[in-house]
Amino acid sequence: GPLDHFAISAISSPQTVGSPITGITLTAQDASNATVNFTGTVTFGGTGGFTGTSGTFTAGVLSGVSVTPTVAGSGLTFTVTDLGSGKTGTATFNIQTQYQAWAGGALFDADTNNDGLKNGLAFLLGATSPTSAVTQPTVTESGGALVMTFNCLPVAARGSATLKVEHSTSLAAWTATTAVVPDTTNAISDNNVTFVVGAGPAGPP
């Protein structure tokens, strides 16, 4: 029969924001779920923040599709749409943040291993898990300037979290300046404070 909808192969749950979902198979089907000879392309969408356009189907099937979620939440969708006919297909699953993938249920503001650093900060500083040791920033002085050396996750692996440092030119008369720790291996000076940042782990797979 004619094209009625698209079937999307099973997608496990949860997936992770920023991590590609690979190996998806799309199948064009009629109302009886028989494969139809569709040879076009489909566009990607859905509440999981998917975008893009597929490759060309062969005899109604397209294998090896890869898409990347950009929104976290429960019961989010991945949709495919043939713009010519308006026929669609939908898959529903949960999408977790990078922190959730790393934490395994540990709370952001908790200190799972009692090392004095909350889990959220340990995550940003590149610890491999909430119970693992973390390489803390070091502070040195050079020519009268403060040098802070960090090992932290690159921006792409941090999700919406941001690592910031508050500093002042005087402890006696504290005038706070807040600086975002940059995502670079280069030294960046901020108000007589230099940040030297080395990339930590790449983040959740």
Strand partners, 27: 7, 61
Q: Tell me, what's the pLDDT at 200?
A: 61
d(CA 87, CA 156): 34
Q: Is the pLDDT of residue 128 over 60?
A: yes
d(CA 85, CA 93): 26
The four Cα atoms 93, 94, 98, 102 give a dihedral, to 10 degrees, of -110
Which whole number is the average pLDDT over 134-139?
A: 86
On whether the CB atoms of residues 202 and 157 are closer than 8 A, the answer is: yes
Per-residue CA distances from 9 to 59, 157, 189 (Å):
17, 27, 50
The SS3 assignment for 63 reads: strand
Q: Is the pLDDT of residue 34 over 90?
A: yes
Q: Tell me, what's the pLDDT at 87?
A: 98
Q: By C-alpha distance, which of 114, 106, 180 is closest to 150?
A: 180
| Type of residue found at 17 | V
d(CA 52, CA 47): 14
d(CA 203, CA 189): 26
Whether the model clears a pTM of 0.85, i.e. scores above it, the answer is: no
Which whole number is the average pLDDT over 88-101?
A: 95
Place of tokens 């500083």: 125
Write the pLDDT tens digit of every residue in 165-203. 888 877 888 888 888 877 665 566 777 777 777 766 555
> Higher pLDDT residue, 111 or 170?
111
Strands (E), 5-144: 5-8, 15-16, 21-29, 43-45, 61-67, 73-81, 88-96, 138-142
Two structure tokens written together for 37: 């000879």
